[in-house]
C-alpha cells in the first residue's frame, strides 16, 4: 500500500468502496472532479493498473449505472471491470487506468500534430458509434476533454455517470445540466433534451479543441463588458444562487446564438476544410450531422491531403510534405522558412519564403508547395 495516501483522510464513500475491493491497492487519489472522486491503483488479482471512479446521482437512476457500458467491447470505450453501488445516491465503477491521462491534461502537456488530432477525433466518433448503435441507443451527454482519456495514444470515452438510454418513442433523452460550456443549444429552456446529435455537437467542440481552438473554462471570460458590469452589481448582493443563474444565462445566450467558439483562435495552418466540417458539427440542431458516421465520412475525405503541421518550441513545422519537412520560425522580427529532407535532422534556411508575420509566410509557402 502506498502510504502517501492516508486512507482515513479519504471521503467516507471512498473508504466504503475500498472496503468492497480488498484486492485494490490505492496509489493516488483525485477529488478535483465536479461529481465525485477517482482512485488510482493496482488490482492485485487482475494484475492491472486500474482506476475506481466514485460518482453521485439521484436515487433510482438506473441508466446511470456504468454496468451498461461494460457490455460494449470497443477499443474507444473505456474498459469497465466492475460496477457497484456504495449508497442509494452514490455508485462506483472500476476501469482501466489511462497512461496518458485525460485529454485536457494531454493537450496541455503535448503539442498535437494535425494527423494526431484527426486520428483522436475519429476515434472519439468511432466510440460514439458504438454507444449510439441500435442495440444500445445510449447518449453520453457529458463529452468534454476531462471525460476522455488517452491510453497508449488511443482515445477512450470515459465517465459514464451521465449516460442515458434514448427513449424509443421520442428519440430523445433528458437534457444534462453538467458542463454548461459543452451543452448543445437544444439542452436549454423548456422542453430541453439530448439525442444522438447532441453528442455530435459535443464531439464537434472536442474537435475544435483538438485542432487548436481555445475555450476558457472560466465562465466569466465569456461575458461581454455589459454583462460583466451587471454581474458585478449582482455579485455585490452576496447571493451566490442569483450570481450563478445570471452567469449561466449569459453562457446560454452565447451557445444558442452560435457565438461560443472563437474560430479565429484555430492556428493559421489548419485547412479550411477541417474548420468547415467542425462548424457543421456544432451548428444548430437541424443542420448538424445526424450521426457519427456522417461526421466520420467527412473527416475521411480530408485525411488523404491533410498536411501534418505541428506547433513546436521553434515555430510551426510541416512534416513530410512531398518528401520534405518545413519549419516556419521567427528571427529578429522576421519569419523565415527552413527546409530539410524527411527524415533528416538538420534544417537549412530557404530564402524563397519569408514574411513580416507567420500568416504571410504561410500563405507564400502554401502557394509555393501546393498546400490545401
| 8 Å CB contact between 324 and 340 | yes
Q: What is the pTM of this model?
A: 0.90
Q: What is the pLDDT of residue 33?
A: 64
- By CB atoms closer than 10 A (0-12, 13-18, 19+), residue 275 is middle
Domains in the chain, ordered, with CATH? 7-96 (3.30.200.20), 103-215+261-303 (1.10.510.10), 308-369 (no CATH)
Q: How far is CA 65 from the centre of its chain?
A: 22
* Separation CA 293–CA 137 (nearest Å): 15
Instruction: List beta partners, residue 30.
Output: 38
Cβ atoms < 10 Å from Cβ of 264: 8
Q: What is the pLDDT of residue 121?
A: 98
Q: What is the pLDDT of residue 3?
A: 47
Give the model confidence (pLDDT) of 202-217 as tens digits. 999 999 999 999 999 9
Cβ atoms < 10 Å from Cβ of 10: 19
Q: What is the pLDDT of residue 60?
A: 64
**What count of residues does the chain have?**
372
Residues ≥6 apart with Cβ < 8 Å to 267: 211, 212, 309, 311, 316
Tell me, what DSSP letter sits at residue 175?
A: P
Residues ≥6 apart with Cβ < 8 Å to 137: 165, 166, 168
| 8 Å CB contact between 139 and 131 | yes
Which stretches in the chain have pLDDT values below 70?
1-4, 32-35, 60-68
Residues ≥6 apart with Cβ < 8 Å to 266: 208, 211, 212, 213, 275
Residues ≥6 apart with Cβ < 8 Å to 293: 129
- By CB atoms closer than 10 A (0-12, 13-18, 19+), residue 192 is middle
Give the model confidence (pLDDT) of 171-189 as tens digits. 999 998 888 999 999 999 9
Amino acid at each position: 500500500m502506498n502510504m502517501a495516501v492516508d486512507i482515513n483522510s479519504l471521503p467516507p464513500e471512498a473508504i466504503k468502496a475500498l472496503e468492497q475491493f480488498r484486492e485494490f491497492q490505492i496509489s493516488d487519489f483525485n477529488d478535483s472532479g465536479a461529481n465525485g472522486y477517482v482512485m488510482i491503483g493496482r488490482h492485485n488479482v487482475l494484475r492491472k493498473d486500474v482506476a475506481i471512479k466514485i460518482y453521485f446521482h439521484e436515487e433510482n437512476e438506473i441508466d446511470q449505472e456504468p454496468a451498461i457500458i461494460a457490455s460494449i467491447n470497443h477499443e474507444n470505450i473505456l474498459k469497465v471491470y466492475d460496477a457497484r453501488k456504495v449508497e442509494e445516491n452514490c455508485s462506483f465503477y472500476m476501469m482501466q487506468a489511462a497512461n496518458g491521462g485525460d485529454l485536457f491534461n494531454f493537450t496541455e502537456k503535448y503539442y498535437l500534430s494535425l494527423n494526431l488530432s484527426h486520428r483522436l477525433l475519429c476515434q472519439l466518433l468511432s466510440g460514439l458509434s458504438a454507444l449510439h448503435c441500435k442495440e444500445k441507443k445510449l447518449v453520453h451527454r457529458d463529452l468534454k476533454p476531462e471525460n476522455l482519456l488517452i491510453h497508449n495514444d488511443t482515445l477512450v470515452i470515459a465517465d459514464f455517470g451521465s449516460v442515458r438510454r434514448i427513449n424509443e418513442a421520442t428519440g430523445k433523452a433528458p437534457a444534462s445540466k453538467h458542463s454548461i460550456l459543452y451543452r448543445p443549444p437544444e439542452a436549454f429552456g423548456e422542453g430541453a433534451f439530448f439525442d444522438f446529435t447532441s453528442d455530435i455537437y459535443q464531439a464537434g467542440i472536442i474537435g475544435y479543441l483538438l485542432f487548436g481552438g481555445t475555450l476558457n473554462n472560466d465562465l466569466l471570460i465569456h461575458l461581454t463588458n455589459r454583462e460583466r458590469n451587471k454581474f458585478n452589481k449582482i455579485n455585490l448582493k452576496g447571493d451566490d444562487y442569483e450570481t450563478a443563474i445570471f452567469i449561466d444565462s449569459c453562457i446560454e445566450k452565447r451557445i444558442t446564438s452560435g457565438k461560443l467558439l472563437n474560430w479565429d483562435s484555430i492556428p493559421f495552418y489548419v485547412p479550411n476544410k477541417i474548420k468547415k466540417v467542425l462548424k457543421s458539427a456544432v451548428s444548430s440542431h437541424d443542420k448538424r450531422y445526424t450521426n457519427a458516421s456522417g461526421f466520420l465520412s467527412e473527416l475521411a475525405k480530408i485525411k488523404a491531403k491533410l498536411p501534418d503541421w505541428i506547433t513546436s518550441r521553434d515555430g510551426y513545422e510541416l512534416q513530410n510534405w512531398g518528401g520534405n519537412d518545413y519549419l516556419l520560425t521567427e528571427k529578429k522580427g522576421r519569419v523565415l522558412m527552413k527546409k530539410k529532407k524527411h527524415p533528416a535532422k538538420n534544417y537549412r534556411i530557404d530564402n524563397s519564403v519569408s514574411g513580416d508575420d507567420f500568416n504571410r509566410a504561410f500563405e507564400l509557402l502554401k502557394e509555393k508547395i501546393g498546400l490545401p
